[in-house]
Amino acid sequence: MRRRIAAWLVVGGLLGWGTPARADVVTDWNLIAAQAIAVAGVRQGPAGAIDVAMVQVAIHDAIQAYQHRFESYSAPIANASGSPVAAAATAAHDVLIGVGLTSTAAGTIDSIYNTYLSSRGLQNDNGIATGHQAAAQILSLRAGNDGRAPANAEQFFGGTSPGEWRPTAVIPGTSNPMPMVAAFLAHVTPFTLKDPDQFRPSPPPPHLTSGEYAQDYNEVKRLGGVVSQRTPEQTDMALFFSDNALQYWYRAARSIAAAHLSDIGDSGRLFALFGMSTADAVITAWNTKRYWNFWRPITAIHEGENDGNFKTAGDPGWQPLIVTPNYPTYVSGASTFAGAASTSLGNYFGSDKMDFTISSAVAGLTLNPRPYERFSDAADDVVSARVYEGIHFRLDDVVGAREGKHVANWAFAHFLRPLE
């Protein structure tokens, strides 16, 4: 019988929100980080993936200063003493403060951290020094010119030729187009990849007159509009996955860790690999978006009479089910994230097959949480959901999920390996 893992059970009221049933310091601080991202505006997504990955890597390195079971990401820390819990919590706290995430809906990071230590009798523990060192090393590695917080962010507005992306949003209070959201992510230094373009895919359909393009065009036109031929089940799936991808995948990861892991070293490595893989997937997706600069379905359908393809009838009044994000369509960031997340989990547990659930913060859904028996099945649903939402062509998502898989496989093969 399929187990439904409760991902949002309250434990002791310490954090002021739900947390997995068998929480540990790793899942506790992942949840705190996710909540900090959620109140931080633009850094909720997509750039927030970089911040959370830094938190998870620092936690992993702090714990491995004691366990010495897996490779650390930065330099190994010698002579660790005290509690690894204090070290991990301190590492997470320091990175969150270091990247400018200082509060959550439940309070400031400082107050949460102090309560976390004091409730465990760790406020003066020697592990705090180890945590400070782990965080300092990660912050140092990502300091300077890694591109995650550029002083002069690129203002990219795309183009106006057929097939080229152009802004789908305007600056609030004006009629001026809004530049591509987080265009700088295209050039951020990855955590595990050699370069942001290491897994950049081939171009989207090079010819708007192709049958492949017409097929994808007509699918999203038919199934992705406010008025569409979607089934109720397809609409429910679309709305479910309109939640923030970082948030729903990390909810799933926390619940899986709570059900299957009991050692903080194992949890720390899982979340570090998951964090680096998904962050690098975001960087890969944005590099691809910026490079190929392909238009969104809303633009394509409005301009359907001008693309040279007699199979793509235009409709200037067509609107997608959800608001189109303000960046190019190819590849899908959510599907690239899903490909990396699902593959990272499968690699870690040695199998794609596992009973788990994903929960959404979207209200009014018929099926929530959604049960799965394979990690890849969840990624497949994300692919279809983005089409049903009306914001992507299917090729955007299929290719994105594949690129995310490549990223996760690379990270697992090259980083945080067991020590012999």
Tens digits of residue pLDDT in 97-138: 999 999 999 999 999 999 999 999 999 999 999 999 999 999
Is the pLDDT confidence value at 406 over 60?
yes
More confident residue, 9 or 100: 100
Sort 262 into a burial class: Cβ within 10 Å, 0-12 / 13-18 / 19+.
exposed
Is the pLDDT confidence value at 205 over 90?
no
Task: Assign 70 a pLDDT band (cuts: 50, 70, 90).
Answer: very high
Spatial distance between the Cα atoms of 54 and 47, rounded to a whole number of angstroms: 12
Sort 233 into a burial class: Cβ within 10 Å, 0-12 / 13-18 / 19+.
exposed
* Averaged pLDDT for residues 29-39: 95
* Averaged pLDDT for residues 17-34: 77
Quick one: pLDDT at residue 152?
83
By C-alpha distance, which of 397, 359, 362, 361 is closest to 381? Answer: 397
Judge contact between 77 and 62, C-beta under 8 A.
Answer: yes
Task: Assign 13 a pLDDT band (cuts: 50, 70, 90).
Answer: very low
* CA atoms within 13 A of residue 9's CA, in its CB half-sphere: 12
Task: Assign 202 a pLDDT band (cuts: 50, 70, 90).
Answer: very high
Instruction: Measure Cα distances from 332 to 10, 192, 259, 357 in Å.
Output: 34, 21, 30, 22
By C-alpha distance, which of 254, 269, 245, 363 is closest to 15? Answer: 254
Quick one: pLDDT at residue 108?
97
At 342, the amino acid letter reads S
Spatial distance between the Cα atoms of 343 and 380, rounded to a whole number of angstroms: 12
Q: What is the mean pLDDT of the chain?
A: 93
Residues paired with residue 20 on neighbouring β-strands, in sequence order: none
Quick one: pLDDT at residue 101?
95
* Averaged pLDDT for residues 392-410: 98
**Domain-by-domain residue ranges, the chain?**
25-141, 183-414
* Averaged pLDDT for residues 371-376: 98
Spatial distance between the Cα atoms of 43 and 376, rounded to a whole number of angstroms: 27
Is the pLDDT confidence value at 4 over 70?
no
Spatial distance between the Cα atoms of 38 and 32, rounded to a whole number of angstroms: 10
* Averaged pLDDT for residues 203-219: 94
Spatial distance between the Cα atoms of 200 and 67, rounded to a whole number of angstroms: 37
Instruction: Measure Cα distances from 313 to 204, 210, 213, 328 in Å.
Output: 20, 14, 12, 22
Spatial distance between the Cα atoms of 193 and 390, rounded to a whole number of angstroms: 31
Quick one: pLDDT at residue 216?
98
Select 183-414's CATH number: 1.10.443.10, 1.10.606.20, 3.40.50.10470, 3.40.50.300. 1.10.606.20
Spatial distance between the Cα atoms of 75 and 275, rounded to a whole number of angstroms: 19
* Averaged pLDDT for residues 17-31: 73
More confident residue, 47 or 293: 293
Quick one: pLDDT at residue 420?
77
DSSP H helices, 39-164, are 48-67, 84-98, 109-118, 127-141
Contacts of 315 by beta carbon, 8 Å cutoff, 6+ apart: 221, 301, 302, 304
The model's pLDDT over 39-65, given as tens digits with 9 standing for 90+, comes to 987 565 689 999 999 999 999 999 999
At 35, the amino acid letter reads Q
Sort 334 into a burial class: Cβ within 10 Å, 0-12 / 13-18 / 19+.
buried
State the DSSP H helix or E strand holding residue 247, giving kind and residue range, or none if neither. Answer: helix 245-260
* CA atoms within 13 A of residue 234's CA, in its CB half-sphere: 18
Backbone conformation region of residue 348, classed left if phi is above 0, alpha if psi is from -120 to 50, else beta: alpha
Strands (E), 330-408: 353-358, 370-374
Spatial distance between the Cα atoms of 258 and 14, rounded to a whole number of angstroms: 17
Residues paired with residue 374 on neighbouring β-strands, in sequence order: 353
The model's pLDDT over 168-198, given as tens digits with 9 standing for 90+, comes to 999 999 999 999 999 999 999 999 999 999 9
Spatial distance between the Cα atoms of 89 and 116, rounded to a whole number of angstroms: 8
The model's pLDDT over 252-282, given as tens digits with 9 standing for 90+, comes to 999 999 999 999 999 999 999 999 999 999 9
Instruction: Measure Cα distances from 154 to 132, 166, 360 in Å.
Output: 33, 15, 32
**Poorest-confidence range of 2-6, 48-52, 322-326, 346-350?**
2-6
State the DSSP H helix or E strand holding residue 108, giving kind and residue range, or none if neither. Answer: strand 107-108
State the helix-helix crossing angle for 333-349 and 245-260, rounded to 10 degrees: 10
By C-alpha distance, which of 51, 383, 66 is closest to 238? Answer: 383
Is the pLDDT confidence value at 69 over 70?
yes
Spatial distance between the Cα atoms of 347 and 338, rounded to a whole number of angstroms: 14
Is the pLDDT confidence value at 5 over 80?
no
Quick one: pLDDT at residue 236?
98
